[in-house]
Amino acid sequence: MHSSMQSNTLKSLGRFHKDQQGTVAVMFGLLAIPMVLFVGLAVDYSRALSADRDLQEAVDAATLAAAIYKANEPTSGTNTSSGGTISQDERKTAKQVAIDYLSQNAALRYMKNILTEAQENNNTLQVKVSAEVPATFAKLVFEKFDVKAEAKSRMAGEPIPMCLLGLNPTASEAVKAWGSGEVFATNCAVLSNSTSTTGLVTGGSATMEATAFCSAGGSSGDGFTPKPYTKCDQQDDPYENRFTKSALSTAGYTVPGPCMQTDYVAKQNVTFNAGNSIYTFCGGLDIRSNKTVTLGPGIYLIFGELHINANATLDARQGTTIIFGDSSWMSGQENGYIDMQGNGNLLLTAPTTGLTASMAVIQPSVSGYNGSSTSGNQHTITGGGNIEMVGNWYTPQSKTLITGNGTINGGSAYFSMVSDTVEVDGNGSLTIRAGGDPASVTMTAIPGRMTMGRFITLIE
């Protein structure tokens, strides 16, 4: 009996051992929970890595945005806008701008408890941010991932006023100093809008000194102090549509008006007075050697060539604006331009009030100019005589060539130039000074300032 029972028990155990029905289901059931947990952990971990990357990119952008804001911070009581991303308010600090930028960043909306710290130290800004990414599949183990990011940027100083701007967007050598020319731009910036790799150039023994240089394209030559920045944003024409024929007419000036002088040649000393209207020279103005033409206060419109011979003098220091005409403004007339011979004298001071306040020379348009890399015409100033200009020079479709020798604007309190292209080419010792303090002569500088944000970089 005992033997029979033992035999049956052994047989039952044998059958149980051999029976594998349901084994896979049991094993899958035992393994399903850790497998799901492992997959969930992988998904959540990948999400946390993405969050870490998103946060770092956002902090980098916020730090740069705040630094740019700081460099371009309004100094007057007016508020400005930066394209709708950050609302600039003169009472905001760079720290607050960084915080606002992060709080408005849509890429971070899936993060919780975002905490921002920002610290300004001299010309640097450091931003540190921590945030939480809620777990989804991994909630059985933990509820969240902690992510952190930080960035530090070097902030530029105060925005720099422009005093020499080459507007042409594609020309090679849009701003050029060559030969023995020297350009000194005091407390201001020299800029080239050209995207050419040689948009800003020095050559020979020429040198240029300014607070900063910037080219939308590249630069060439080692005559710059300091070294130019490249790949900068192109600057808008600061006076676009301000002095067109229609704008002048809207302001109450008849343009071109009747010819007050035609093909005038100054063979003796003479004075002209514009009064409250525009005084028009048709066919040019030719000042012979050893003769002086004095222009009283007002606006003078010149078609054709303003020719200043050697030892001749144009004296316009009583608040005068010279406008070079566009040939399309009057039938039978040529585009205006200046051709000044060596040892000629040009004494020109812009008015401080009225439509053309602070503007010494204007040529808003040139008939035939098509916006290419070739300027519409050329203004030539040859040094060697007494040349002092106070105010702004604006010829956006013309090349301005300053050549010869001697010192130009050595005693000028303020002078700035905006031209399609600018070339300073000395054949002796040529020095031209730009910049200065417009307030000292009750004038207004060229609108706009160099965007210092282009020079702000992340340093950590």
Question: pLDDT class for 346, splitting at 50, 70, 90?
Answer: very high
pLDDT tens for 274-323 read 999 999 999 999 999 999 999 999 999 999 999 999 999 999 999 999 99
Question: pLDDT class for 369, splitting at 50, 70, 90?
Answer: very high
Question: pLDDT class for 76, splitting at 50, 70, 90?
Answer: very low
H or E stretch at 195? none
Exposed, middle or buried, 337 (CB in 10 Å: 0-12/13-18/19+)? buried
Q: What is the mean pLDDT of the chain?
A: 84
Give the least confident one: 5-9, 35-39, 385-389.
5-9
Q: Is the pLDDT of residue 98 over 50?
A: yes
Are 177 and 204 in contact, with CB atoms under 8 Å apart? no
Query: What pLDDT does residue 382 have?
Result: 95
Query: What pLDDT does residue 434 have?
Result: 82
Query: What pLDDT does residue 403 have?
Result: 94
**Across 314-338, average pLDDT:** 97
What is the Cα 219 distance to its own chain's centre? 16
Query: What pLDDT does residue 80 have?
Result: 34
Residue that wins the pLDDT comparison between 434 and 289: 289
Question: pLDDT class for 74, splitting at 50, 70, 90?
Answer: very low
Query: What pLDDT does residue 105 have?
Result: 79
Give the least confident one: 86-90, 199-203, 344-348, 360-364.
86-90
3-state secondary structure of 454: helix
Which token pair is 282?
A: 């048709």
Q: What are the CB-based long-range contacts (under 8 Å, 24+) for 135-142?
A: 135/44, 136/40, 136/43, 136/44, 136/47, 137/36, 137/37, 137/39, 137/40, 137/41, 137/43, 137/44, 138/37, 138/40, 138/41, 138/44, 140/37, 140/40, 141/37, 141/41
* Phi-psi label, residue 371: left if phi above 0, alpha if psi -120 to 50, beta otherwise: left
Q: In Å, what is the CA distance from 414 to each residue of 393, 399, 409, 425, 448?
A: 11, 21, 9, 22, 16
Query: What pLDDT does residue 24 have?
Result: 57
Query: What pLDDT does residue 236 have?
Result: 92
pLDDT tens for 128-165 read 888 888 877 666 667 787 888 888 876 655 578 889 99
Query: What pLDDT does residue 224 have?
Result: 96
Which token pair is 248?
A: 């002048």
161 cis-preceded (ω within 30 degrees of 0): no
pLDDT tens for 167-220 read 999 999 999 999 999 999 988 999 999 999 999 999 999 999 999 999 999 999
- Tell me the percentage of the chain whose pLDDT exceeds 90: 54
Residue that wins the pLDDT comparison between 29 and 282: 282
pLDDT tens for 232-277 read 888 999 999 999 999 999 999 989 989 999 999 999 999 999 999 9
DSSP 8-state symbol, 46: H
Give the number of residues written for the chain.
460
3-state secondary structure of 397: strand
- Greatest C-alpha distance within the chain: 154
Question: pLDDT class for 231, splitting at 50, 70, 90?
Answer: confident
Residue type, 422: V
Dihedral sign (CA 241, 244, 245, 251): positive
pTM: 0.69
Q: Which residues pair with 80 in a beta bridge?
A: 88
Q: Which residues pair with 146 in a beta bridge?
A: 132
Query: What pLDDT does residue 97 have?
Result: 83
**Across 358-375, average pLDDT:** 95
Residue that wins the pLDDT comparison between 278 and 77: 278
Backbone angles phi, psi at 125, to 5 degrees: -130, 125
